[in-house]
């Protein structure tokens, strides 16, 4: 695919771990040229395991494909000066996830950078946010799932709290950062001025709690854990079949009536206890027990066929292997690799005019593109980066 939306945009990314690197990767997939700046010991994700690919954690490749990898130690005056030159002479966007105060220490704060480049877009990705009493505290995805209340709603009632099995807060923060950056690029086109974009893990986690917080503010109830279900719809959860689990979702009364027909109990749809969602919420345990008894008697494939034929939303709980190999996943083409010797990874979940941006190459080794940086800066008729 040619003519990607962000071709010509240059991004400098000084980041570590997951959220800010994910933002940089999205921009790279959209066509931007992204310069990934790592310290000499490399991004922490290079050491994440257990899976490895070409010497680095597979997680690192999942977050840093398609970027130019340069190694600069900003604690060294020469390398810091090089980074400043790269930003001043070439960058449209500068992304970092340094702790508040650290960027100013190295002159990488928006106020300083925009003295010489007023149209620069600076994106700061934080943990607890750029203001407030905890703004200098470190943070990771599980901490924010805990702090925001997400974990108070996740898992089975009476059991220990659990986090979502994927880094929803890290990835969500990267997405919010990109939304802010794209908005700032559009604003710059109109007003010829730069912007500072702030995003953080906690703000993202709070956004994911929007419905839970609305429910609490409406009636003062803090909510609870419903396993694979939710607090506000019944049935809307996983049920065990004879050979696996199946999510069944009835978000309204007509869908529930269809479910009752499929299960051979149309009378449930007119039962005063179950006829409305309010009633089903009140009698959750009883109704879910009845549904579970029926579904447990037949294989998952049988119920999938019956429920789908009736127009009822349902989905099997699949393993990673099943999800990767499913014909629907393959039809979407969201998994891919640019060459036969590359690892197959998830691409951008967007298409333009029916075409998905092509797969990005695996992440480069630490400092692999320092020669390209030297060449770029030498082209400005300035001294190349020191060895």
Q: Where does the pLDDT of residue 298 fall: very low under 50, low under 70, confident under 90, or very high at 90 and above?
A: very high
Question: Which CA distances in Å does 179 have to 27, 38, 172, 206?
Answer: 10, 24, 11, 17
- Choosing from 16, 79, 170, 369, the catalytic residue is 170
Could you give the percent of the chain with pLDDT greater than 70? 98
Point out the domain boundary residue: 288, 316, 344.
316
Q: Are 136 and 200 part of one and the same domain?
A: yes
The reported pLDDT for the residue numbered 2 is 66
Q: Are 77 and 169 part of one and the same domain?
A: yes
Please determine, for residue 382, whether its predicted confidence score (pLDDT) is greater than 50.
no
Please determine, for residue 362, whether its predicted confidence score (pLDDT) is greater than 60.
yes
The reported pLDDT for the residue numbered 381 is 55
- 170 is known as an active-site residue: yes
Q: Which of 152-161, 216-225, 297-306 has the highest mean pLDDT?
A: 297-306
Q: Are 105 and 162 part of one and the same domain?
A: yes
Q: Are residues 90 and 376 in contact, defined by beta-carbon separation less than 8 angstroms?
A: yes
Backbone angles phi, psi at 289, to 5 degrees: -65, -40
Q: What is the distance between the alpha carbons of residues 289 and 269, in angstroms, rounded to a whole number?
A: 15
Q: Are 263 and 372 part of one and the same domain?
A: no
Q: Are 103 and 195 part of one and the same domain?
A: yes
Q: Are 126 and 82 part of one and the same domain?
A: yes
Alpha helices, DSSP H, located in 109-219: 110-116, 141-147, 168-191, 201-208, 210-219
The reported pLDDT for the residue numbered 92 is 98
CB crowding 311-329: b at 16 or more within 10 Å, else e = ebebebeeeeeeeeeeeee
| Interval 119-140 mean pLDDT | 94
Average pLDDT of the residues of the chain = 93
User: What's the CATH code of the domain at 158?
Assistant: 3.40.50.10540
Q: Are 54 and 100 part of one and the same domain?
A: yes
Q: How many domains does the chain have?
A: 2
Q: How many CB atoms lie within 10 A of CB 66?
A: 23
Q: What is the pLDDT of residues 274-295, one digit of tens each?
A: 999 999 999 999 999 999 999 9
Cα three-residue angle 325-351-359, rounded to 5 degrees: 60
Q: What is the distance between the alpha carbons of residues 29 and 358, in angstroms, rounded to a whole number?
A: 8
Is the bond into 235 cis (omega within 30 degrees of 0)? yes
Alpha-carbon Rg of the chain, whole angstroms? 25
Determine which of 30-34, 165-169, 337-341 has the lowest per-residue pLDDT on average.
337-341
| Interval 199-226 mean pLDDT | 92
Q: What is the distance between the alpha carbons of residues 22 and 4, in angstroms, rounded to a whole number?
A: 18
Q: Which domain holds residue 18?
A: 10-208+333-378
């Amino acid at each position: 695919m040619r003519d990607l939306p962000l071709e010509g945009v240059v991004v400098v990314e000084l980041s570590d771990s997951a959220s800010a690197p994910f933002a940089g990767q999205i921009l790279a997939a959209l066509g931007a040229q992204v310069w990934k700046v790592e310290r000499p010991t490399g991004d922490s994700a290079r050491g994440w395991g257990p899976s490895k690919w070409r010497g680095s954690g597979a997680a690192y490749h999942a977050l840093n494909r398609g970027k130019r990898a340069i190694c600069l130690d900003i604690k060294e005056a020469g390398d810091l000066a090089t980074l400043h030159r790269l930003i001043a002479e070439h960058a449209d966007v500068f992304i970092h996830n340094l702790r508040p105060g650290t960027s100013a220490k190295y002159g990488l704060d928006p106020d300083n950078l925009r003295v010489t480049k007023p149209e620069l877009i600076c994106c700061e990705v934080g943990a607890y946010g750029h203001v407030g009493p905890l703004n200098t505290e470190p943070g990771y995805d599980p901490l924010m799932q805990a702090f925001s209340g997400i974990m108070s709603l996740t898992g089975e009632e009476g059991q220990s709290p659990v986090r979502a099995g994927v880094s929803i807060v890290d990835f969500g923060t990267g997405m919010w950062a990109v939304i802010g950056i794209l908005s700032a690029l559009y604003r710059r086109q109109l007003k010829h001025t730069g912007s500072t974009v702030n995003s953080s893990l906690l703000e993202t986690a709070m956004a994911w709690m929007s419905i839970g917080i609305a429910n609490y503010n409406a009636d003062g109830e803090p909510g609870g854990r419903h396993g694979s279900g939710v607090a506000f719809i019944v049935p809307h959860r996983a049920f065990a079949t004879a050979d696996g689990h199946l999510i069944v979702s009835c978000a309204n009364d007509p869908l529930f009536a269809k479910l009752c027909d499929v299960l051979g109990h149309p009378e449930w749809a007119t039962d005063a206890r179950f006829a409305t969602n309010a009633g089903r919420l009140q009698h959750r345990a009883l109704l879910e027990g009845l549904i579970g008894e029926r579904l447990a008697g037949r294989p998952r494939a049988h119920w999938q066929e019956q429920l789908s034929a009736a127009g009822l939303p349902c989905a099997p709980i699949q393993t990673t292997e099943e999800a990767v190999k499913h014909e629907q996943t393959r039809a979407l083409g969201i998994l891919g690799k640019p060459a036969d010797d590359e690892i197959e990874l998830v691409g951008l979940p967007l298409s333009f005019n029916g075409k998905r941006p092509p797969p990005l190459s695996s992440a480069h080794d630490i400092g692999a593109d320092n020669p390209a940086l030297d060449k770029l800066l030498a082209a400005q008729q300035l001294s190349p980066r020191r060895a």
